[in-house]
């Protein structure tokens, strides 16, 4: 019987493939194929094994950040489903440049043997049980069409501005809270800078409270301001541009300029009676003199000092003051701690009365 040469060739080609058939299968999916620059793209990689497969360790760590993209791990899970081990890796991908983008990270499968596992558990060290085999492979390529945007801030945002006071007295702080909430790449939000003539502006770095979801970052971004002035002033308009994914148009987070009324506080001169009076002796002065003498004698007697127990909050605040690197940083701490109690020091800071950082720290030690 004549031998079929074609069938023989097919069998020869299939034999190596059958011999190296892998006991696992990788799958990959993405939430979208078309996206804007800096828009979140959800990607999930899933590896399903033929069984519980304890001999495999997955090393899957795509490069986190390059000039073209950023990838963030959302969640990594491992479970047994219908007697099959299933590993899942969820990522958010942010592409920074427009055009065609290909994403195909490498994964390394580390295969150990049963002896290695047993002896690792038993803690034996009389033999070399660190045998393993590495298989490096590239994941299936994902191809995206990225639409370029001029604005890096992309998402769905809302702006809220809070101020408790309608007006303040001279040298008292006027507080303002700027809060941005919603979904999007909060990393692109920049610190708001405010400069107002004849007004001291105190602020700290913005605080973020966000979480990762399949739609990207979701949460709140907040920046707090305190303004100290001697006369009326205007807080400038807040206007932040962003690209809204719902309407696919550029929008603005806006808050109109705010006029702040500043009333004059008490002047030192108004607290002093300048009217001169002729001195006449009174037995009342003798009473004051005896009181003074008694006070002098009491001061000479050594009494045990009363120890003031500081609360944990006071200790933390004192530590922050000692660690402050600048006079402006101390001013912010004082305003946020108790602006009324430290009003005199805040006023001196506003008038640049302190030449050295050590001077203000020494004065604060007396409070």
Neighbours of 253 (CB within 10 A): 19
Alpha-carbon gap, residue 146 to 98, rounded angstroms: 5
Q: How far apart are CA 150 and CA 120, in angstroms?
A: 55
Q: 360-363: long-range contacts at Cβ-Cβ below 8 A with a sequence spacing of 24 or more?
A: 360/327, 360/330, 361/321, 361/322, 361/324, 361/330
The whole model's pTM is what?
Answer: 0.65
pLDDT at 144: 98
pLDDT value, residue 328: 77
Three-class SS state of 176: strand
Distance between CA atoms of residues 258 and 238, nearest Å: 10
pLDDT per residue of the chain (367 residues) written in tens, 0 to 9 = 444 544 444 444 444 444 457 889 999 999 999 999 999 999 999 999 998 878 899 999 998 899 999 999 999 999 999 889 999 999 999 999 999 999 999 999 998 866 555 555 445 554 444 567 888 989 999 999 999 999 999 999 999 999 877 788 988 899 999 999 999 999 999 999 999 999 999 998 999 999 999 889 999 999 999 999 999 999 999 999 999 999 999 999 999 999 999 998 655 444 344 444 444 445 454 545 555 555 555 555 554 544 445 566 677 778 778 888 788 778 888 887 887 888 888 888 877 888 888 888 888 887 7
Listed in order, strand segments (DSSP E) in the chain are 24-30, 34-36, 40-49, 56-59, 69-81, 84-95, 99-103, 106-112, 132-138, 142-147, 154-162, 167-169, 173-184, 199-203, 207-213, 216-229, 233-235, 238-244, 249-255, 258-263
What span, in angstroms and rounded, lies between the C-alpha atoms of 35 and 146?
5
Q: How far apart are CA 181 and CA 179, in angstroms?
A: 7
Q: Which pLDDT score is estimated for 350?
A: 76
Q: Which pLDDT score, from 0 to 100, does residue 289 have?
A: 52
How many angstroms separate the CA atoms of 364 and 347, rounded?
14
Helix axes 343-350, 357-364, angle to 10 degrees: 170
Count of CB atoms situated within 10 Å of the CB of 256: 11
DSSP 66-93: -SSEEEEEEEEEEEEETTEEEEEEEEEE
Look at residues 39, 41, 36, 35 and name the one whose alpha carbon lies nearest to residue 214. 41
Q: Which residues contact 313 (CB under 8 A, 6 or more apart)?
A: none
Identify whether the C-beta of residue 68 lies closer than 8 Å to the C-beta of residue 37.
no
Do residues 217 and 184 touch, judged by C-beta distance below 8 A? yes
């Amino acid at each position: 019987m004549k031998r079929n040469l074609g069938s023989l060739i097919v069998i020869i080609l299939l034999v190596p493939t059958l011999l190296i058939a892998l006991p696992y299968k990788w799958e990959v999916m993405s939430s979208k194929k078309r996206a804007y620059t800096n828009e979140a793209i959800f990607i999930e990689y899933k590896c399903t094994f033929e069984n519980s497969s304890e001999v495999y360790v997955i090393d899957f760590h795509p490069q986190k950040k390059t000039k073209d993209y950023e990838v963030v791990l959302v969640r990594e899970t491992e479970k047994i489903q219908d007697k099959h081990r299933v590993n899942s890796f969820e990522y958010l991908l942010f592409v920074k440049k427009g055009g065609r983008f290909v994403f195909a990270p490498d994964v390394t499968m580390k295969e150990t043997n049963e002896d290695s596992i047993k002896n690792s558990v038993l803690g034996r060290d009389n033999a070399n049980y660190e045998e393993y085999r590495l298989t490096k492979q590239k994941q299936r390529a994902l191809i995206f069409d990225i639409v370029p945007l001029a604005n890096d801030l992309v998402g769905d945002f809302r702006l809220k501005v809070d101020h408790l006071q309608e007006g303040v007295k001279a040298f008292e702080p006027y507080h303002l809270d700027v809060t941005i909430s919603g979904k999007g790449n909060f990393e692109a939000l920049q610190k708001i800078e405010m400069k107002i003539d004849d007004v001291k502006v105190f602020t700290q770095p913005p605080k973020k409270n966000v979480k990762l979801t399949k739609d990207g970052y979701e949460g709140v971004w907040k920046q707090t301001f305190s303004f100290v002035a001697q006369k009326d002033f205007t807080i400038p308009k807040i206007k932040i541009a962003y690209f809204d994914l719902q309407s696919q148009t550029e929008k603005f987070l806006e808050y109109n300029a705010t006029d702040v009324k500043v009333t004059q506080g008490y002047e030192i001169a108004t607290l002093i009676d300048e009217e001169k009076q002729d001195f006449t002796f009174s037995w009342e002065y003798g009473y004051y003199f005896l009181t003074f003498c008694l006070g002098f004698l009491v001061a000479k007697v050594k009494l045990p000092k009363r120890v003031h127990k500081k609360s944990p909050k006071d200790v933390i605040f004192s530590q922050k003051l000692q660690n402050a690197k600048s006079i402006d940083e101390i001013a912010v701490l004082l305003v946020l701690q108790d602006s009324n109690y430290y009003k005199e020091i805040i006023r001196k800071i506003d008038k640049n009365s302190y030449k050295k950082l050590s001077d203000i720290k020494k004065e604060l030690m007396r409070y």
